[in-house]
Amino acid sequence: MELCVRASSLLLGLLLQLLSSVDVVSAAQKFGINYGQIANNLPDPTQVAGLLQSLNVNKVKLYDADPKVLTSFANTGVEFIIAIGNENLQSMAGNPGAARQWVTQHVQPFLPATRITCITVGNEVFSGNDTGMMASLLPAMKAIYAAVGELGLGGQVTVSSAHSVNVLATSFPPSSGAFREDLAQYIQPLLDFHGQTNSPFLINAYPFFAYKASPGSVSLPYVLFEPNPGVRDPNTNLSYDNMLYAQIDAVYAAMKAMGHTDIGVRISETGWPSKGDEDEAGATVENAAAYNGNLMQRIAMNQGTPLKPNVPIDVFVFALFNEDMKPGPTSERNYGLFYPNGSPVYAINTGAGGVSGRTGPFDPYSAQMFSSASRLAMTSGMGVVVLLGALFLRASSARTTQQRKKVPSGFESSFQTNGNQPLSRTIESFPRVTTIAATIQRE
């Protein structure tokens, strides 16, 4: 009886905290979110708009230019990156009229009500073997950029393209970062375009794949932004306590080697799966919560990388929802922060509430996507989840301490799997490896 009373009191306290937290969020989050839709059970975009508004997430990246989504977010103030698929590159590269028509149809009608701020032309084009598509990327980008200018939207919309980190031939130490020689003929003029148009270089980076490839050699705390000895770059004497920052600075070094110090780097995708197959080491709820929570804390602090400490990292987390129709291993369907029914996959402690009031706490349990009646029906279940989450966080702390690994100082290896899909993710070993790449089929 006494145990039941104590459990009930604890649960009541947690529920009261849950209810009171709804009104705490006030300032916009500083990270963006990838809103993928390869699923058959996702909520209506109008509900998604309410969800993101309740969380004060104001930057969203799409993989298309879905008019229903763009209409649903009208007058919300949310900034959008929209996309042109790889299948359209060659037609746009050879036909400026097609590029203008695309902008007229997919961008112009939604401005200014919906804040479209960037168009990505193609996705990880250099990760495949289609040289025709590679050659078409920059002409297509130029055609879209010209169309945006001709329609008077140049002051509002930038043009870019997202790339996997495997465009790098060398990524460690970060100061030795260099692009692959076979891509130089495409990347050099692409960087020139970014420099001329003041547009960012977008990178998709997933430290998860480093750990998945070599869990016995890659430091888990290093990839999860948790306390660890760090790695020192012998050329710059800069110290890195996490892999993502090392990858970002490797991209900066590679661009500098091609004569550009005038281009910013944005992380267009990064994340960690909450579930995976038996051979996908590290794909757990605990690690996903740690990776995304620790990353969001650093974003809230306006933290920069060791090479550019005064330039806050600019990150889009992957992804908003678990997507049940994505091909590939189980992890591909479990990157979401939320289930399609609007409930959080796990609790995230971003520590954002204590950062001088500059951003609101990211509390997935305060999310408001459904009607009051629908939320009331889920309240008891959410209370149980919160209770279990508290217990899990305590256990997670102990697990983290026990699982920190020492890495052989001479570890060097290379791992690569090729696929036919345009999206790939490159991974980096810890601490001494030139390049490790893993291509994962997605879209």
Domains held by the chain: number: 1
Catalytically annotated residue among 2, 87, 124, 412:
124
Of 94 and 267, the one with more pLDDT: 267
CATH code of the domain covering residue 41: 3.20.20.80
Task: Identify whether 296 is part of a domain.
Answer: yes
DSSP-derived pairing of the beta strands 425-427 and 436-438: antiparallel
Task: Identify whether 10 is part of a domain.
Answer: no
DSSP-derived pairing of the beta strands 158-164 and 115-123: parallel
Question: Which residue range(s) make up the domain with 420?
Answer: 29-438
Catalytically annotated residue among 79, 181, 269, 278:
269
Task: Identify whether 231 is part of a domain.
Answer: yes
Task: Identify whether 53 is part of a domain.
Answer: yes
DSSP-H helix ranges across 234-352: 243-257, 285-300
Q: Of 37, 52, 43, 49, which is closest to residue 73 (Cα–Cα)?
A: 49
Of 421 and 156, the one with more pLDDT: 156
What are the tens digits of pLDDT across the range 352-362?
A: 443 333 445 56
How crowded is the C-beta side of 328, counted as CA atoms within 13 Å? Answer: 25
**What does pLDDT average to over the chain?**
81
Query: What percentage of the chain has pLDDT greater than the value 90?
Result: 70
Instruction: Pick the range with the lowest mean pLDDT from 333-342, 355-364, 399-408.
Output: 399-408
Annotation says 124 is catalytic: yes
Task: Identify whether 24 is part of a domain.
Answer: no
- What integer is the mean pLDDT of 332-358? 77
Of 22 and 300, the one with more pLDDT: 300
Q: Of 400, 412, 428, 436, which is closest to residue 220 (Cα–Cα)?
A: 400
Task: Identify whether 23 is part of a domain.
Answer: no
Query: What percentage of the chain has pLDDT greater than the value 70?
Result: 72
Please list, residue by residue across 83-114, b when 16 or more beta carbons sit within 10 angstroms of its beta carbon and e when fewer do: bbebebbbebbeebebbbebbeebbbebbeeb
Task: Note whether 420 and 128 are within 8 A (CB).
Answer: yes
Annotation says 332 is catalytic: no
Where residue 212 falls among pLDDT bands split at 50, 70, 90? very high
Residue 22: is its pLDDT beyond 80? no
Cα(438)–Cα(213) distance, rounded to whole angstroms? 8
Instruction: Report the run of H or E that residue 266 belongs to, with start and end.
Output: strand 265-270
Task: Identify whether 6 is part of a domain.
Answer: no
Task: Identify whether 22 is part of a domain.
Answer: no
